[in-house]
Amino acid sequence: MASDLVRFSVAIPMGLLEEFDEYTARRGILTNRSEAIRDLMREKLVEDELASPDAEVVGSITMVYDHHTPDLTQRLDEVQHEHIPQIVSTMHVHLDHCNCLEILAVRGRSADVHDLADRLLGIKGVRHGSLACTATTSSMGHHHEHRHE
């Protein structure tokens, strides 16, 4: 990101500006309009980047499932063995007698990471699952999420 700041003026309706100020105030962390607008611009750029199937992304896939579901753990394993390049690390937590929480750190082409997430979260018996990912290039710092609940 270029570090030189430039100023430009923008004409917008008063009502829109007021709504925007209220929005940034609600978010609490942003201290001024410039920062808020920079933030939104970066967010849109990352969104655009992520829309490309070839974008390089990093992220996590989170799943909760009942390990008693017939064939479920075997099918989860099979899918993961077919996506070795995309899976950096996995964590498995036995939540209680039935339920497991599994978290996968993933990276790679956006299309491959989304394909992996769709295949895992689409397996019958996966109760809650989500993919959160962010682009690794220029506009790093924002993420988007897909939830399947």
Where does this chain bind Ni ion (CB under 5 A)?
Answer: 94, 100
Helix (H, G, I), strand (E, B) or coil at 139: coil
Q: Which is nearer to Ni ion, 57 or 121 (CB)?
A: 121
Q: Which is nearer to Ni ion, 100 or 105 (CB)?
A: 100
Q: Which is nearer to Ni ion, 67 or 109 (CB)?
A: 67
Output the smallest distance, CB 67 to Ni ion, in A. Answer: 5
Output the smallest distance, CB 148 to Ni ion, in A. Answer: 19
Strand order in the sheet with 126-135: 87-94, 99-109, 56-66, 126-135, 144-148
Helix (H, G, I), strand (E, B) or coil at 90: strand
Rounded Cα distance, 17 and 96, in Å: 50
Output the smallest distance, CB 77 to Ni ion, in A. Answer: 12
Rounded Cα distance, 149 and 131, in Å: 12
